[in-house]
Amino acid sequence: MNIFRLAGDMTHLASVLVLLLKIHTIKSCAGVSLKTQELYALVFATRYLDIFTDFISVYNTVMKLIFLGSSFSIVWYIRRHKIVRRSYDKEQDTFRHYFLVLPCLLLALLIHEKFTVKELLWTFSIYLEAVAILPQLVLLQRTRNIDNLTGQYVFLLGAYRSLYILNWIYRYFTERHFVHWITWIAGLVQTLLYADFFYYYFESWKNNVKLQLPA
Amino acid sequence: KQQPQIHDEL
């Protein structure tokens, strides 16, 4: 465990907890894309199957449980909670996320490390995580203004993946056998997707103006 | 012998 990875996990944890806190406290999910939250729940459900078969560490298991619990809670709040669901912007959150799931499934069947069910689902989750933020970014573009908690959520998610890239570089140089091309390329694509959001996020933060994303 | 790489990251 290196500092980049720990910082990455903590940032990732913060992103989901910030979002869950927002939704729970102000009983609103305005600006939040349910599609992205459902995709993340699917990412965790297909990636953390090994929680029952391989024990890596207490930290690993606890974090997986927290991510599973928080992502499914967020989906439940937006779908089922009688107050929160009213603030869900169904008309604007129209990204057809099945168009993301199917290509990731096919790609996992084509490019993977081992042809086992667990490994295929794990690879699927890696590809899906890379594109899961798209419905949220599209929603932010449409709603123009974004309130700072949603902005923070996307920012923290981008920061977590950037820290993971530093972690992979660190591990590549310290553990020779550590080579995971699939994870590295998908992680890089994911971080690049955030790049333009980052640009506008820093611009607005620097000029101390409300974040405006260009249409 | 290189053991199959388990995915130890989140």
Q: Is the pLDDT of residue A88 over 50?
A: yes
Contact A56 B6 (CB under 8 A): yes
DSSP 8-state class, residue A116:
S
Taking residue A84's Cβ as centre, other Cβ atoms within 10 Å add up to 21
Q: Tell me what pLDDT residue B4 has.
A: 58
pLDDT digits (tens, 9 = 90+) for B1-10: 344 568 999 9
Chain A CB within 8 Å of residue B3 CB: no
Q: Tell me what pLDDT residue A213 has.
A: 78
Which residues, 6 or more positions from B4, have their beta carbon under 8 angstroms from its beta carbon? A114
Across the interface, of A63, A113, A177, the residue whose CB is closest to B10 is A63
| C-alpha to C-alpha distance for A29 and A19, rounded to whole angstroms | 9
pLDDT digits (tens, 9 = 90+) for A110-152: 999 999 999 999 999 999 999 999 999 999 888 876 777 788 8
DSSP 8-state class, residue A132:
T
CA distance B3 to chain A (A): 10
pLDDT digits (tens, 9 = 90+) for A161-205: 999 999 999 999 999 788 899 999 999 999 999 988 888 888 888
